[in-house]
Structure 1
Amino acid sequence: MEPLIFEADETIYCDDPQKWFPDYIPLIPSDTIINKVITGFGATTTEITAHRNSIIILPNVATIHNKHGYHAETCNTFPVYEGVSADRIAAYLKSQTRYKKILTTPESFSKILEAFKRIGISPFNDYFVLTDEQHKQIQDIAFRPNITMALDSFFKFKDKAMISSTPIKPSDPRFKNFKSIKLQPTYAYTKDVEVLFHDNLIFALKDCFERYPLINQFVFFNSINGIQDLIQKLEIGNDSVIFCSKESAVYLKTQEYAAGEPYRAFSKFTPETCSKYNFFTSSFYNGLDIILNEAPQVIMISLPGDAKTHLDPYTDIIQIIGRFRKISEKQNPIYAEALHLVEYNRKPLNYMPQRQLTEWLGAGRNVYDTVLKLMYSNPNPLERNIYVDILERLPFHKVVANKWHLKRNNSMREADSDSYSTMYNIDYFMIDKIYEEERIKGYYSSPINLMAAYERVGISTSQDNPSFETFLNERIAPYNTEQKLNLRKGKRYSKENIKKIVLQLTDLDPIGGNNFEYDIATYKLTDPTPLIRYAFDKLGREKLAELDYSISKIKQALIDYDVKDGKNSHPVIDSVYNNFSTGYRISLKKIKETLQTIYDRHNIPAKAKASDIGQWFEVKQSKLVTHKRNTGDKTSPKKRNEERAYILLKRLFDIHRGLK
């Protein structure tokens, strides 16, 4: 599946590597999506220095810190993110700064509009809005829902544009009249990347480190648990730092890589905070300028079985390598070596080709509209509540932009049946995100697919000057290597961590009467683990202790609590998803036993069958092979045992919102 890349309406050829973005586009035009191709080309700087008022939407706080650090003195930029109040923004807007330059995250965009409202000024005709790193609007929308609200506001401005080195074509019809511009270099800008397939990340990463033992290592890996485990198993805690989101940094500082030694974690990048081993999560993949005195080794890690670690050659790889800048024109190379470490996929990776995905979304919408029609035609308010719960669990609900059609007393409930799909708006960016996820998942279904994607990147950018020259390599660990990456170790919802948080919440009880102070304290404490705060409030400290701080038991207790409270009409769905995970082979016997326990718990008078699991998951028939010795006889040869099994590929419904 190809990415949603569009043919440019206009191509500007860049013939001189000494020239910058403003040499070709002095002022960014309105209603455009610009593919600048080259990272670090000076496009954001062009808008920051432009003689007009600007609001620049950047992908994350780390990028804001970076840009503000360069331009605060010369352009009086004003950073806006969590913790910056509307009053402070309003004070800046009323200041004597001639050209206002506001740098903001999508989530804080609403505060800027509130500040304008407070001072009685409309920004829609007088401010230029630039969305930088446009591809992140699509890639991040699934876990950053406020991006949608920022986009709605974006279209209200008369002058607006989007820009990226790796843009993704948006399907939103509001972009219909936007012009796409591509800046295509005619000079060589190819980057070398070694794609190294391996069967053991610990072994492969250690081997890579040993190639360049005297220089700093920059490792890009979007897994906090994985980074923790790497640091512990490689015993490099004293020489390691982690650059991640603010929430993850707060969490990591409560964890230890060795007795009495907490992790060093930062949400802001500066060269001074670097160490021998520097780990970066996805918060630092885009928009950051990394300028170092010495060329480092750059290592990027993907685990096929963990979708959040997947790196897209069309976007992520280009962006990560593009973070590194020359300290001077004489510096060559910028980095010693760039490697992409990819684990051989041991588990089946299910993905949908583009045509199949389009059919699936169409079928999902038909089902959604059918249930919506039943809800509106039902006069019983209690039964309508059940329909609402069903609608919120259907996969298509994720791509519905507005939720007002679910209100119990909606005045349109008697509307003609043909108009139900017009009662809600589609979140086109979420649909684009789903297509992107499936496309990238397809690359990691086999090494051949991934290497083909690397090859196609060059064709989609320039036939003569491809983005990458890739080198294929392989590293197989010795047979007796025991150290494997453990993504579960150090989990935020481990028993030890849950117990620690519960005790800390209990210590805050004395200030419970001071609502504001209590809310701030508990928010800071449980921001990385919101489910624990929810469970503490609903179930109480004694109940959590009784459940032995087990996250699966806590989730089941929350299901039971909501059923008793009349807030969960479909507890069996949640119990099933609490006991089964996708991507694993499970014997039919185990499935049958677990389902029977769930049926008994919810008083369902039925005898469980393994095939029942198909009501909640897409499944694939398989076999589970184990090798066991006779009990008590350690000298006897292991006997091969083969059982029928299912692989659980994909959930058919969503879990209750309180359990997310």
Structure 2
Amino acid sequence: MHNITFDKEIVFPIEITRFTEIPEVNPIPSNTIIYKTVCGLGATHSEIVSKRDSIIILPHLSIVKSKHNDPKYKDSTFAVHGEVTVEQVYNYLASGSAEYRKLLTTPAGLKKIIKATQLTGLNYKSSFFVLIDECHKLIQDAGYRGDMLEMMENFFQFDRKAMISATPIPPSDSRLVEQKFKHYKVTPDFDYKKGIKLINSNSVISSLKQHINENPSECYFIFFNSVSGILSLIKQLKIKRDVKIFCSEEYKNHLKDKGVKYAHSLYDGYTKYNFLTSSFYNGLDINIADVVPNVIIISDCSFGNHCIVDPFTDVLQISGRFREIQDLPLVHINNVSRYITPLNPDESKDEIVKSKKAYETLSGLKTSFIEQDNIYFLDQALKTCKPYFNLLDENGNYSYFLQDNYLDENRVSQYYSSTSQLMSAYVGTTLFKLKEESVTFNKDVCIKLSHHKVKYLKASNKNSVATLQDLEAIKGTDTYYKERLRILNVFPITFNAYERLGIEKIISLNYNRVKMQNELLELDIKEKKNSYPLIDLINKTFQLNKSYLVKDIKKKLQELHDILGLSSKAKSTDITLYFHIKPYFNHIDSKSARAYILMERKYNSCNELAA
């Protein structure tokens, strides 16, 4: 995956079972990235018991709460997350009740700790050792979590700090070199490979159903990073009871609104069928003594990049959740697709360079533009410069973590372009003893998963609109602003429809997300808030990693031209102006027809709600 030159390689024998028994990394040395190779060594534990004040940053709320609620750590740690105030952190720090202060926090919680430390009069930069645990999530989650980027700005200010994971993805941020970070690898000298069965299938659900029927068990743990996909699995498998979904607090609340009572945001024990999303399992300890669970990982390419797993990181992390089980039955069911055609590493880097040039050219024009009333034309044009614009943080600065996220997503997507690519990736990890099986189901018995957007279900949209209406009665209060902001962050389309279209229009649209989205786009065009509506309509109409017949492309493009009243005639080759494409021949009724696979968009949508 990555060619890394390690500054130190530490090998430990089978007799060592805890991180605290490895002197070279106990206590964890400052300015290091530690590749610990295997999960379950107790690296987090080693920092909790170390004789120094520590801040331990964990990727998700569920892990912070899980670690803090562990009887071993309940009295020796303080958990910082969304529900905890700066004042509460200050009281903990000022109380002097602990010999060594140990704060477990989400990335967003680091700001609260810094503020609280400043209130105590301490210098936060020198007072704590900061450890980022499961540091691979820095890059994997950077694309959609602003709290990760903000946390890293603060992280580099601390005098003593380190990152650790069994599966780190080396960051390219120049500050790591400037601050002389070293790469340490910790490896056992015994066979630590885990057995896994790779099932390549044309139907994920059919293969899952078959696997469960052929391998009866008291307990299944099924890892799939889509809540809507999990609901579809439960429905297709006809599971009526003994089921739990472990997911984020946000999705737990969505499911609760939908009447789903078996969703949990904290691990509280297992049942027969246990479904977990990726926002839940990283860093989690699942201790099961009385049964050997059957562990199933699902990658469904039709659900997009977020629903495929990386053999180098995700699969090891999943297998590492089960601490005490040696011979864990582990299966990865996938439906690799020839339509997955991501850019290779060189092409991805080239796109960054080309889009950067376009961005800088437009930025130069903007500074010299005389007609300030029309400056919004250039502002919107800047937003379309993909991928470079996507790699800028909220302050407009280039983020190496967003860059690494973009390159990493393309890397993982490549594995799912063919069964041989995925197999090669597994072999390249050197982490698994691999068995492979390919299964093809007849089309008449093939079951497909449904994947509607859970958070924009009609019931959720209806509840959000009702809440916005109720809030008008307390307009001006803190609750009014706080609740409106929450709805805006979680349901931006519904919020904007309420504000701009009005309740009567939303009702006439039957609370439908797509219809609200289309109405908002039309309103943008009418109010001249969108100078590039064709880009938005094309991005909405055409899906990535899907093949389209050339004749159908021309027809769809002409329909969009007609909607906007454009006089120009659409050509099928116009699609190359908006997408990187791959020529393809589709076979229909024994005849070959020209088609294109759409690999990647060349432009962002001007209106983020249209994407």
TM-score, normalised on structure 1?
Answer: 0.86
**In the alignment, is the contact (CA less than 8 A) between 1:393 and 1:655 conserved in 2?**
yes
One-letter amino acid of the structure 1 residue matched with residue 238 of structure 2 = E
Distance (Å, rounded) in 2 between the aligned partners of 1:577 and 1:287? 36
The answer as to 2:591 corresponding to 1:652 is: no
SS in 2 for 1:213: coil
Secondary structure at the counterpart of residue 98 of structure 1: coil
Structure 1 position 204 matched with structure 2 position 207: yes
Q: Contact (CA 8 Å) 1:72, 1:78: kept in 2 or not?
A: no
Cα shift readout 1:481-527 (whole Å, capped 9, x = no counterpart): 15322223x64335x34653365346525535254333444566676
What is aligned with 1:275?
271
**2:455 is paired with a residue of what secondary structure?**
coil
Alpha-carbon separation, structure 2, partners of 1:66 and 1:643 = 55
Q: Take 1:565 and 1:607, find their aligned partners in 2: how far apart are those partners?
A: 25
Counterpart residue number, 2:354:
363
Q: Which of 513, 517, 536 matches 1:555?
A: 517
**Aligned counterpart for 2:455 among listed residues 492, 513, 519:** 492
SS of 2:149 mapped into structure 1: helix
Kept in 1, the 8 Å contact 2:343–2:599? The answer is: no
Counterpart in the other structure of 1:449: 421
Contact 2:536 2:607 in 1 (8 A): no
Give 2:306's aligned residue.
308
Q: CA deviation at 1:478?
A: 4.7
1:248 aligns with 2:244: no
Alpha-carbon deviation of 1:283?
1.4
Q: Is the 8 A contact 2:342 2:600 kept in 1?
A: no
Q: Which of 203, 224, 229 lines up with 2:227 in the alignment? A: 224
Q: 1:16 aligns with which of 9, 14, 18?
A: 14
Q: CA deviation at 1:161?
A: 0.6
Gaps of at least 5 residues in structure 1 are 257-261, 327-331, 405-424, 459-466, 628-639
Q: Is the 8 A contact 2:342 2:599 kept in 1?
A: no
Residue in structure 1 matched with residue 109 of structure 2 by the alignment: 108
**Aligned ranges 1:84-95 → 2 under 5 Å:** 84-95=84-95
Q: Which residue, 457, 460, 468 being the options, matches 2:432?
A: 468
Per the alignment, residue 420 of structure 1 pairs with none
TM-aligned CA distance change 1:290 to 1:546, over 3 Å: same
Query: Is 2:429 the counterpart of 1:428?
Result: no
| Shift in Å, 1:402 | 5.7
Contact 2:254 2:454 in 1 (8 A): no
Farther off after superposition, 591-600 or 13-22: 591-600
Could you tell me which amino acid in structure 2 is paired with residue 607 of structure 1? K
Q: CA deviation at 1:588?
A: 3.9
**2-structure distance, mates of 1:112, 1:566:** 44
Q: Is the counterpart of residue 146 in structure 1 residue 147 in structure 2? A: yes
Note the residue ranges of structure 2 that are not aligned, 5 or more in a row: none
CA separation of 1:549/1:359 partners in 2, compared to 1, >3 Å: closer, same or farther?
same
> SS in structure 2 opposite 1:620?
strand
Report the residue type matching 1:285 in the other structure: Y
- Indicate how the Cα distance of structure 1 residues 506 and 166 shifts in structure 2: closer, same or farther if over 3 A, else same: closer
Contact kept in structure 2, 1:556 and 1:578, CA below 8 Å = no
- SS of the counterpart of 1:170? coil
Kindly indicate whether the alpha-carbon contact (under 8 Å) linking 1:75 and 1:101 is maintained by their aligned counterparts in 2.
no
Alignment partners' CA distance in 1, 2:161 and 2:130: 5
Q: 1:562 to 1:188 in 2, by over 3 A?
A: same
Maintained 8 Å contact 1:30/1:160: yes
1:285 to 281, 286, 304: 281
For the residues of structure 1 that align with 2:370 and 2:119, how far apart are their CA atoms?
A: 43
Partner of 2:315: 317
Task: State the match for 1:541 in structure 2.
Answer: 503
* 1:399 paired to 2:391: yes
Cα distance change of structure 1 residues 292 and 553 upon mapping to structure 2, 3 Å threshold = same
Identify if the C-alpha distance between structure 1 residues 15 and 73 changes in structure 2 by more than 3 Å, giving closer, same or farther. Answer: closer
**1:98 corresponding residue in structure 2:** 99
Q: 1:506 to 1:572 in 2, by over 3 A?
A: same
Give, in whole Å, the separation in 1 of the partners of 2:366 and 2:462. Answer: 44
Structure 2 CA distance for aligned equivalents of residues 499 and 62 of structure 1: 26
Mapping 1:504-543, distance limit 5 Å: 504-505=466-467, 508=470, 511-513=473-475, 515-522=477-484, 528-543=490-505
- Write out per-residue CA displacement over residues 595-614 of structure 1, whole angstroms, 9 at most, x where no aligned residue: 33433333333223333222
* Counterpart residue type for residue 342 of structure 2: Y
Paired letter, 1:480: D
1:298 is aligned with what amino acid? V
**Contact (CA 8 Å) 1:58, 1:64: kept in 2 or not?**
yes
For residues 314-370 of structure 1, the C-alpha deviation after alignment (integer angstroms, 9 at most, x for no partner) is 1111110000011xxxxx5463x100111142x511122222222222222222212
1:64 Cα shift? 0.7
Give 2:579's aligned residue: 617
Distance change in 2, residues 1:515/1:543 (3 Å):
farther
Q: Are the equivalent residues in 2 in contact too, given 1:239–1:276 (CA < 8 A)? A: yes
Query: Equivalences for 1:382-397 in 2 at 5 Å?
Result: 382-395=373-386, 396-397=388-389
How many angstroms does 1:93 deviate by? 1.4
% identity of equivalent residues? 32
Q: Distance in 2 between matches of 1:482 and 1:349?
A: 20
1:52 Cα deviation from its structure 2 partner: 1.0
Preserved CA contact (<8 Å) 1:4 1:170: no
Q: Could you say which residue in structure 2 is the equivalent of 1:351?
A: 342
Q: Residues 194-223 of structure 1: CA distance to partner in whole angstroms, max 9, x if unpaired?
A: 111112222211122123323200000001
Alignment-mate amino acid for residue 284 of structure 2:
L
TM-score in terms of structure 2 length? 0.93
Deviations 1:278-324 (A, max 9, x none): 00000123111000121100000112342111111111111100000
Q: What aligned pairs does 1:588-627 form with structure 2 within 5 A after superposition?
A: 588-623=550-585
Q: Partners of 1:60 and 1:212 in 2: how far apart?
A: 32
Alignment partners' CA distance in 1, 2:501 and 2:440? 48
Q: Please identify, of 66-75 and 362-371, the stretch whose mean Cα deviation from structure 2 is larger.
A: 66-75
How far apart in 2 are the matches of 1:237 and 1:515? 44
